[in-house]
Amino acid sequence: MKFLRNCFLLAMLAVIPGVRAAYVNGELLWEGDFSTREGAKKVGEKALQHYRPKAGPDGKGALVFRTQRNTETDWIMIPLDAKKLTGMIQLEAVVAGNDLKPGERPFWGSKVMLNYKTGGRDRWPETSRSFGTFSWKPEGLVEVIPADATGLLLHLGIQGAAGEFRVASVKIYRCVEGEVDPRDIPVNQEAARIPRGPGSGTKYRGVMSGRDLSHEAFQQLTDWGVNLIRYQLNPGLNTPRIDISTRDGYLKWIEAEMKRLDEVLELCRQYHIKAVVDIHAGPGNRISKVSSNEINTGLDVDTLTEAWRRIATRYKGNPSIYGYDILNEPVNNRTPSVDLWQRTAEQVTAAIRAIDPEMPVIIAAGFSISQFGDFKPLRYKNIIYSPHFYEPFAYSHQSVGGSWKIRWGYPGWINGLYWDKEQLRVSMKDAIEFQRKYRVPIFVGEFSVHIGAEGGDRYLRDMIELFEEYGWDWTYHAFREWAGWSIEHEMTPEGKYIRSKDNPRMRTVVEGFRKNLKKTEN
């Protein structure tokens, strides 16, 4: 079995043909080799207690962690020397899982995680959590350990989840500047097993709305070829601020939003652009840092349902509306399934259908595209299912919400995986399978990448090509909302956002929009 030998690609500067500058693994700083009993014993008594012969790859040993219920924890904590590991490091682990089920909190599950204190606060960097059954695979993370770090621990095992998790080895390297040869890129066998799409393209391509919804803005969108806008009903974005903390206040806000929506729909009619009506903030629940609706924190389903009754009554049969997106990015942070959101979606859709039997209803399967694996299609016709796509998050959101010490490049190694078009396909697997199994339409309501991310134009091109291959309508996030997502901006080397009439990201996305114009011409 060939394990990863390269640290994740950060800079993507070409040095010689076929070779790129990057950060690579330098000195091996720490190793936990669990292929033998002696190797487990070197790490400590607790590791030895979890050692099982022949449980690892190639018939060798491994650490095995098991729990029966998703309220149980079975893990070990291994002390590490923070001073020895100060600076940029890469952790590489080789893991496998059997019937792993998520816990009641989004951060519970399989664990390969560091923990340390810095500046009086705890940090918990970890590899991605995996669920289900999977064979041996590499996982990794890159972290910059500050000089004042204390109490460094390595956690291995299962936290608050159910199933079996195996760890064959963990290695921690110093990251140094070097070169990576593309010939070392592994073959993506999982991607090869995913069915290809028909490649016939899609019908609607557009943008998420922002603050500018003027005639000039609509003219610009039309010139690009946009034929769809996802209009967000978002407190403070479109209408004067209204207290939405009560039922009366929320419904008052909805009434104000509909007045503004009337104006937007008239512009949509004039410019031949359809609108997705998106409730971006639900009543009663808390909004997460990434603007998702944490529906377990008090979502008032009855008020949300009444809001949609009013919207459906006002706009029944309106030809400028593409569909009703009933709630942006519903996140259930406590229950281990999507049952709460499933019930909510069914109640709201039933209320809309009682008023308008035909208008498409758009259902997000959750915050993550991977949650399609748990969602069940609704019994009504004209239902569109909608993922948002920002995978891998560490790449798409670098520099969002503060400075990041690690700069990722695409294509390249990110969080233990080589990310390119085929790995993007793997990340879309659940949505692809959902569409094939139930023969339902898919609409990608959001996708984007921060303007400072190296290779962002290639990343966007690969995503759009996949959407087109599988026939998914799509809206880019976002148009004239925040400069960090804007295709009309660039970022200077000093980190400043500046207006731009032409840049690689703009050319890529507009090239996608222009497929609408080509269909019109034909």
Phi then psi dihedrals of residue 444, to 5 deg: -85, 100
In a domain, 195, yes or no: no
Tell me what pLDDT residue 183 has.
Answer: 73
Lowest-pLDDT range of 73-77, 372-376, 385-389, 485-489: 372-376
Residues 351 and 316: their CA atoms lie apart, in Å, by 13
Tell me what pLDDT residue 239 has.
Answer: 66
In a domain, 146, yes or no: yes
Q: How many C-beta atoms surround the C-beta of residue 135 within 10 A?
A: 10
Q: Confidence class of residue 11 from pLDDT cuts 50, 70 and 90?
A: very low
Please check the confidence at residue 155 and state whether its pLDDT lies above 90: yes
Q: How many CA atoms lie within 13 A of 466 on its CB side?
A: 24
Of 184, 218, 246, the one marking the end of a domain is: 184
Per cent of the chain over pLDDT 70 is 89
Tell me what pLDDT residue 518 has.
Answer: 75
Domain count, the chain: 2
Q: Confidence class of residue 237 from pLDDT cuts 50, 70 and 90?
A: confident
Tell me what pLDDT residue 140 has.
Answer: 86
Please check the confidence at residue 235 and state whether its pLDDT lies above 80: yes
- How many residues would you count in the chain? 522
Domain containing residue 247: CATH number:
3.20.20.80
DSSP of 95-148, one letter per residue?
EEEEEEE--SSTT-EEEEEEEEEETTEEE--BPPP--EEEEEEEEEEEEEE-TT
Give me the domain span that covers residue 298. 205-521
The two tokens of residue 2 are 């060939």
Tell me what pLDDT residue 373 has.
Answer: 63
Of 150, 184, 218, the one marking the end of a domain is: 184
Q: Hey, is 173 helix, strand or coil?
A: strand
Is the same domain home to 455 and 312?
yes
Tell me what pLDDT residue 369 has.
Answer: 54
Mean pLDDT of the chain: 89
Give 422-466 pLDDT, tens digit per residue: 999 999 998 999 999 999 999 999 999 999 999 999 999 999 999
Is the same domain home to 173 and 235?
no
Tell me what pLDDT residue 177 has.
Answer: 67
Region 358-378: mean pLDDT is 78
